Structure 1
Amino acid sequence: MKLLTITALGAGLLALAACEKATEAPFDQGVCYAVETGVEGEPPRFNKVAEKQPQIEFCAARLEEMRLRFLRLGGSRREVTGSYQGQFIFIDRAGVWISKTLEGSRFILLARTGDGRLAIPSAIQRAIDGSPVSVSANAEPATPAP
């Protein structure tokens, strides 16, 4: 009897936890937002960064640009959160991650190369130990035209 009561209580708590609504990103066509998480209990704020962005990669570039400008001005935040058409974007030292929810699982979109640039993960050459290798665009010096 006691086991049945505990099981029913546990199932009820799980059902309530499943009903908790996750934070959703706005779905404005082509608009890139920076997301500022509020203090405990407050909803996050969405600040418009850019409009007419054709793809999520362009929004990630605008957020990375914003992050670098703040660092040059003396800021200390190295991680930025943004959103684009219903997806959340997370930028950190490893690269750019995306997620459907603010609290959910994240998937890599762009990875950092050896020199800090962002690139599609499959385009990055890696050393045997897995670290990124930076390759110059021009491997050989250009020969002057005759």
Structure 2
Amino acid sequence: MKTLTTAALGASLLALAACEKATEAPFDAGVCYAVEMGAEGEAPRFNKVADDQPQIEFCAARLEEMRLRFLRLGGSRREVLGSYQGQFIFIDRAGVWISKTLEGSRFILLARTGDGRLAIPSAIQRAIDGTPVAVSVNPEQAAPAPAP
């Protein structure tokens, strides 16, 4: 009987959690927002950073620019949260991540290179010796010159 009561209580808590309204990002075309999380129980605030951004990558660049400016002014926050056309953008030391919800799964959008810049993850693959994987070399130029 006790197990049945515990199971019923767990099911009811799960049902209540499912009813909780998830925070949605605004879907204003081309508008990039910085998101400030409110205090416990308060809704997050969306502050406009830039208009007329053609893609989510441009919005991520504006948010990264804002993050760096705050750091130069003496700020200490290294992570930034933003939104663009219904998606959330998370910027941290590993790169830029996107998600449809604040609590959901995140997917990598841009990764940091060795010097801290942001790039498409597949563009920064390197071979063991550090040369880019996708660069082809002319075999005639790569061969050492014959000894005289």
TM-score by length of 2: 0.83
- The equivalent of 2:47 in structure 1 is 47
- The equivalent of 1:86 in structure 2 is 86
- The equivalent of 1:140 in structure 2 is none
Measured in 1, the distance between the counterparts of 2:41 and 2:61 equals 30
The question of whether the paired residues in 2 share the 8 Å contact of 1:25 and 1:83 is answered with: yes
- The equivalent of 1:74 in structure 2 is 74
Measured in 1, the distance between the counterparts of 2:24 and 2:131 equals 37
Residue identity opposite 1:69 in structure 2: R
The question of whether the paired residues in 2 share the 8 Å contact of 1:115 and 1:134 is answered with: no
The secondary structure found in structure 2 opposite 1:4 is helix
CA shift digits 1:56-94 (9 cap, x unpaired): 000000000111111111111111000000000010110
User: What is the count of residue pairs matched by the alignment?
Assistant: 131
The secondary structure found in structure 2 opposite 1:47 is strand
Residue identity opposite 1:81 in structure 2: L
Q: CA offset at residue 134 of structure 1?
A: 8.6
- The equivalent of 1:99 in structure 2 is 99
Structure 1 gaps, min length 5: 136-146
- The runs of at least 4 aligned residues of structure 1 exceeding 3 Å deviation read none
Q: CA offset at residue 12 of structure 1?
A: 1.1
Residue identity opposite 1:72 in structure 2: R
Q: CA offset at residue 34 of structure 1?
A: 0.2
Matches within 5 A, 1:1-146: 1-126=1-126, 128=128
Structure 2 gaps, min length 5: 133-148
Measured in 2, the distance between the counterparts of 1:95 and 1:40 equals 27
The question of whether the paired residues in 2 share the 8 Å contact of 1:113 and 1:134 is answered with: no
CA shift digits 1:124-145 (9 cap, x unpaired): 12465xxxx597xxxxxxxxxx
Measured in 1, the distance between the counterparts of 2:14 and 2:74 equals 45
Moved more, 52-61 or 14-23: 14-23
Alpha-carbon RMSD across the aligned residues, in angstroms, is 1.5
Measured in 1, the distance between the counterparts of 2:45 and 2:33 equals 9
Q: CA offset at residue 5 of structure 1?
A: 2.4
TM-score by length of 1: 0.84
